[in-house]
Structures are given as structure tokens and as C-alpha cells.
Amino acid sequence: MRAAILTSTLTCPTCGHVQAFEMPTDACQFFLECPGCSVVLRPKAGDCCVFCSYGDVLCPPIQQGDSCCKG
């Protein structure tokens, strides 16, 4: 099994701000305040975290084939 990528670049859907963030390996990130416009990002329906919704890399549990926080 490959090592998970731990950095994801998020793009804010409101203002377009782009920034790289370190992802937690043991929990989902349900909320993240955009540094550009202060909107609080939440996962889209069906996604487990903000990284799966707005990042260029899925969260570590999903990368490893786990169900993350769903269930």
C-alpha cells in the first residue's frame, strides 16, 4: 500500500482563493475557514470532508480505501 499524500490544495468555491493545507490523518476536517474571504467551507453532500470536496487530493483515509468518517 502506498503512503498517503498529506497535503491538499483547496480552492474556495466562493472567492477562488487557493491554498495548500496539511490534512489530518486520523480525523475528517468538516469545517475550514477560507483565508481569503472567511467563508466556512463544509463538505458537499456525499463527501466526508472539505478536502474531498474542494481539494486536489482526497483525504488520507479515502486514499487508503477506508470509509473515512462515514459510518
Which structural domain, as residue segments, surrounds residue 35?
A: 7-63
The DSSP symbol for 19 reads E
Each residue of 55-65: pLDDT tens digit? 999 999 888 88
Q: Residue 13 falls within a domain, yes or no?
A: yes
What is the count of structural domains for the chain?
Answer: 1
Each residue of 18-40: pLDDT tens digit? 999 999 887 789 999 999 999 99
Q: Which three cell numbers stand for residue 44?
A: 458537499
The DSSP symbol for 71 reads -
Q: What is the pTM assigned to this prediction? A: 0.86
Q: Residue 50 falls within a domain, yes or no?
A: yes
CB distance 23 to 7 below 8 Å:
yes
Which helix or strand (DSSP H or E) is residue 27 part of? none
Amino acid at position 10, single letter: L
